[in-house]
Amino acid sequence: MEVEMRIFTLSLGTLIALVLATGSTTAQNKYTGVKLCAACHKTGKGGTAYAVWEKSQHAKAYETLLSDKAKKIAKEKGIKGAPSESEACLKCHVAGGGVAENVEKTFKLEEGVTCEVCHGPASGYKIIHSKDLKKAKAAGLTKLEKSAESCVTCHNEESPSFKGFKFDEMWAKIEHSKKKK
């Protein structure tokens, strides 16, 4: 019994040290889905990020996997089964790559490429990010600056429909800063 208690204490201590060393507990965060973002980011004080997203191709990313064109591309690439069920396709067409297990009931694959693709799973910061940005970042909020880093994980030569990626041109289509231009 004493040995088990020591092992437990060491394991717990290691876990706490790891969390403190990385400064993050985002591994525990869950994908919540875009509707929770929409509650504040549709209009007004919270910005218009949801309205921008809703009109974007990102909002339709999953839907494209249901098309005949996607089925043809999948067949040409040797993907067996429906593109809407393939990890190779879902990894860029759905938040969490379509295989995330850390999801809340409000999360839906059909929402496609949502806020959480760039800003991280929101369960840890969704309530505090408008009140305390520092705490929100510590709780997993990411990518608040204009950067191609996230974009090029999908918009690259690996994508079967890739025709080059002009970051500034594409950013103009999805830019959703609350700052005045």
Q: Is residue 88 one of the residues assigned to a domain?
A: yes
Q: With bands split at pLDDT 50, 70 and 90, how would you rate the model's confidence at 179?
A: low
Q: What is the CATH number of the domain that holds 164?
A: 1.10.1130.10
Q: Which domain holds residue 64?
A: 27-174
Query: Tens digits of per-residue pLDDT, 94-114?
Result: 999 988 889 999 999 999 999
- Among 63-77, 98-112, 129-143, the range of highest mean pLDDT: 63-77
Q: How confident is the model at residue 173 (pLDDT cuts 50, 70, 90)?
A: very high
Give the span between the Cα atoms of 56 and 59, in whole angstroms: 6
DSSP3 helix / strand / coil % (the chain, rounded to 5):
55, 0, 45
**Exposed, middle or buried: residue 80 (CB in 10 Å: 0-12, 13-18, 19+)?**
exposed
| Domain membership flag for residue 96 | yes
Q: For the whole model, what pTM was predicted?
A: 0.79
Residue 85 located in a structural domain: yes
Residue 99 belongs to some domain of the structure: yes
For residue 11, tell me if it sits in a domain.
no
Specify the higher pLDDT residue, 9 or 1.
Answer: 1
Check: CB of residue 165 under 8 Å from CB of residue 150: no
Number of domains in the chain: 1
In a domain, 146, yes or no: yes
Residues 6+ apart with CB under 8 A from 60: 112
Residues 140, 124 contacting (CB under 8 angstroms): yes
Check: CB of residue 34 under 8 Å from CB of residue 58.
Answer: no
- In sequence order, the 6+-apart residues with CB closer than 8 A to the CB of 173 are 56
Q: What is the per-residue pLDDT across 27-60, written as a single tens digit (0 to 9) for each?
A: 589 999 999 899 889 877 788 899 999 999 999 9
Chain mean position to CA 121: 6
Structure tokens that stand for 118 in this block? 């760039």
Report residue 147 as tokens: 């950067």
